[in-house]
Structure formats: structure tokens, C-alpha cells
């Protein structure tokens, strides 16, 4: 950390504010070491600040969680540092009333990625603006990404300039970002079009119930949700299973529509994921599903998977017994 940045931290008016906290989320990414070093120096300069550390999935980049839906994925320095410190100290500008109202109407959690750079003269205002909006809407999350530190994300999202705001990988605004237009599109956006990444973020934040409710109200299983419920990693699949179990209780007809989606993917799943898919088929399926389960080629499968198929069949038969009139 440069001396100039240390002085900015030492001179910030929020330095002695009591009760300040942030969470450092580290992963297997080698840049975790850099963020850890920054957080340590920050805590040394802000005695009242409490920094907690969490170890997360190695597939995700490290970041600093400032709470209230705001995450900073980068090393705040130069022009990036002042808005970061303001956000940490809770020094937000008040958004326009129209913008606060729109942010409050966003139906499901949405993460916006705001790409910035340390030398960018316009980025600090964008950071302050979207940090304040993240605090205004309970379902709005903003991730500030340092493009220089994470060039692979810049390339993935096709970012050509900063500041650039990216939503769901298919919307982007650069330069003077039209806040009202962005928020209105988020309010009107069909939740069924949410990306798997966005849905995974909801599940990680403990919003499985809200996701189940949204699918029940929409009367459709969100396409990207199937990616999560068949994900090879158990922690991700677990969150989706929790949402499915609630959907089974509250909207069983909607839950049952997942059966053909699971069948379509079944052959390409690993055995543990196949077992979970069979469980869901057993909990949601009907007599037609039973026939599909019984026809699955499981002769070469392991004992646990064959047992899962038997239990799925038993669950279906318990809920859909054969009528006496069906027996000739």
C-alpha cells in the first residue's frame, strides 16, 4: 500500500466510527493473498474496525463484503479508495426518491457488476451512486470489480471502458450510467430469465424460500435453476434442493414440471447427482414418472443409486396408488 493511500485512510473522517465491520471472503484464487494483506493494513489503521474472514469456494474470486448488498472485488487504491472508505463507514449519498422506490420494487435478488479502475476519474461517483442504491433495495446487490486486478472478468463480460455496469451478462451500460433506466429494467425483468450465477447468489444468501415462492408465482421452473439442482458440487446442489422441497410443499404442480428436465440430463450426471435427481422425481412424479424411473438403465449402477431408484418408485406409488378399477 502506497504512503498516499495510508494517509487517506488515516485522515478519513469515518476512521473512529464505532461498530464498523466487514467480511473478507478468501478462496483458492492467488489474489486472496493481496486482499488479505490490504485488509490487515486497513484494520491496523482503523482500530474500531472488525474484519472477519471466511473461506469460500475456490471457483469464486475473493472479495470484501461491506454488507447491505455491497461487495468490493479488488484492492481499493488511488481513486478507488475514497468511495470504498465512505461505503465502509456508512457515508452514503441519498438516492433520488424515484430511484429508492424502484430499487425497493426489484422482485428478486439481482447482482450488478460495476467495473472500475484506479485511474478512472468518473468511477468514484459511479461507486458512490450504486453503493447507496445497494443499501436502498433489499434485493439489489452490487459488486465493484477492479478491472485491472481481474482482467479475465473484463474479457468475459466484454468490458471496453470504465465505469461499466453489467447485469445478467447481457445488459451493459458505460460512462454516464442511466440509473433510472437500469432500475426500471430490473423491476420489469422476467425472473425466469435470471442466470444460474444470479440464482446461486440467492441460494448462498439463504433465499431459497424466496426463490421457491417466485417460481411458484411464475408457475414455471426457472431454466437456469435446473443447472443448480443438477450441479456436480453438493453445496450448490443442496441450496437448490432446499428450494425444490419448499416448492414441492407450496406448488406441487409446478414442482412436477422438473421431471422431464431431470430426465433429459440424467445420463450425463454423476452418480450422486443422479441419486438426488431420483429423489426429486420420487417426490414430484406421477405414475408416468414411475414408468420412466423403472425404465432407467441402472444394471451397472452402484448399490446406492439402485436403492435411490427403488425409494423414488416407492414414494410415487405411495402418493399415486393403483386404483382397484385399474386391475383387470
What pLDDT was estimated at residue 268? Answer: 95
Describe the strand order of the beta sheet including 140-146 as a list of residue ranges.
50-55, 21-26, 63-67, 70-73, 140-146, 110-116, 164-167, 171-174
Please determine, for residue 325, whether its predicted confidence score (pLDDT) is greater than 70: no
What pLDDT was estimated at residue 79? Answer: 93
What pLDDT was estimated at residue 240? Answer: 96
Q: Stretch 171-200: mean pLDDT, rounded?
A: 87
pLDDT in tens, 37-76: 999 999 999 888 999 999 987 778 999 999 888 999 999 9
Beta bridge partners of 72: 64, 144
Where in the chain are the domains?
3-188, 192-326
Of 20, 124, 24, residue with least CA distance to 73: 24
What band does 323 get if pLDDT is binned at 50, 70 and 90? Answer: low
Instruction: Dump strand ranges (E) for 62-208.
Output: 63-67, 70-73, 110-116, 140-146, 164-167, 171-174
Q: How many CB atoms lie within 10 A of CB 301?
A: 16
Q: Stretch 289-293: mean pLDDT, rounded?
A: 94
Of 176, 116, 175, 106, residue with least CA distance to 141: 106
pLDDT in tens, 129-163: 999 999 887 788 899 999 999 999 999 998 999 99
Percent of the chain with pLDDT over 70: 97
Q: Stretch 232-261: mean pLDDT, rounded?
A: 95
Q: Stretch 245-269: mean pLDDT, rounded?
A: 96
What pLDDT was estimated at residue 328? Answer: 38
Of 248, 321, 319, 261, residue with least CA distance to 292: 261
List the grid coordinates of 292: 420412466
Give the lowest-confidence range in 191-195, 245-249, 284-288.
191-195
Using the 8-state DSSP alphabet, how is residue 207 labeled?
Answer: -
Give the lowest-confidence range in 33-37, 60-64, 201-205, 243-247.
201-205
pLDDT in tens, 186-202: 888 888 888 888 788 78
What band does 327 get if pLDDT is binned at 50, 70 and 90? Answer: very low
Rounded to the nearest integer, the mean pLDDT of the chain is 91
Please determine, for residue 80, whether its predicted confidence score (pLDDT) is greater than 70: yes
What pLDDT was estimated at residue 48? Answer: 84
Could you please state the CATH topology (level 3) that the domain comprising 3-188 is classified under. Glutaredoxin (3.40.30)
**Cα angle 285-228-194, degrees, rounded to a multiple of 5:** 105
> How far apart (Å, rounded) are the C-alpha atoms in residues 14 and 307?
60
- In this prediction the pTM is 0.77
Amino acid at each position: 500500500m502506497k504512503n498516499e493511500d495510508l494517509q487517506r485512510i488515516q485522515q478519513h473522517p469515518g476512521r473512529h466510527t464505532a461498530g464498523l465491520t466487514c467480511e473478507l471472503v478468501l478462496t483458492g484464487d492467488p489474489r486472496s493473498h493481496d486482499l488479505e494483506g490490504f485488509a490487515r493494513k486497513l484494520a491496523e489503521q482503523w482500530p474500531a474496525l472488525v474484519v472477519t474472514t471466511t473461506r469460500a469456494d475456490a471457483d469464486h474470486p475473493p472479495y470484501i463484503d461491506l454488507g447491505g448488498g455491497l461487495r468490493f472485488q479488488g484492492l481499493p487504491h488511488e481513486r478507488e479508495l475514497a468511495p470504498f472508505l465512505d461505503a465502509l463507514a456508512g457515508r452514503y449519498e441519498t438516492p433520488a426518491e424515484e430511484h429508492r422506490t424502484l430499487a425497493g420494487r426489484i422482485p428478486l435478488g439481482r447482482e450488478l457488476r460495476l467495473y472500475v479502475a484506479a485511474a478512472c476519474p468518473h468511477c468514484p461517483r459511479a461507486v458512490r451512486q450504486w453503493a447507496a442504491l445497494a443499501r436502498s433495495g433489499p434485493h439489489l446487490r452490487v459488486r465493484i470489480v477492479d478491472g485491472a486486478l481481474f482482467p479475465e472478468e473484463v474479457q468475459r463480460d466484454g468490458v471496453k471502458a470504465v465505469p461499466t455496469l453489467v447485469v445478467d451478462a447481457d445488459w451493459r451500460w458505460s460512462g454516464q450510467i442511466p440509473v433510472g433506466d437500469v432500475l426500471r429494467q430490473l423491476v420489469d425483468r422476467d425472473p425466469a430469465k435470471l442466470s444460474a450465477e444470479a440464482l446461486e447468489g440467492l441460494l448462498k444468501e439463504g433465499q431459497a424460500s424466496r426463490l421457491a415462492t417466485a417460481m411458484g408465482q411464475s408457475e414455471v421452473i426457472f431454466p437456469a435453476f435446473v443447472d443448480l439442482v443438477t450441479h456436480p458440487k453438493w453445496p450448490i446442489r443442496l441450496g437448490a434442493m432446499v428450494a425444490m422441497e419448499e416448492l414441492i410443499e407450496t406448488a406441487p404442480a409446478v414442482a412436477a414440471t422438473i421431471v422431464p428436465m431431470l430426465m433429459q440430463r440424467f445420463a450425463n450426471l454423476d452418480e450422486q447427482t443422479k441419486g438426488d435427481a431420483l429423489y426429486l422425481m420420487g417426490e414430484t412424479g406421477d405414475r408416468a414418472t414411475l414408468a420412466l424411473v423403472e425404465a432407467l438403465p441402472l444394471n451397472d449402477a452402484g448399490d446406492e443409486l439402485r436403492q435411490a431408484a427403488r425409494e423414488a418408485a416407492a414414494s410415487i406409488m405411495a402418493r399415486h396408488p393403483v386404483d382397484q378399477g385399474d386391475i383387470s
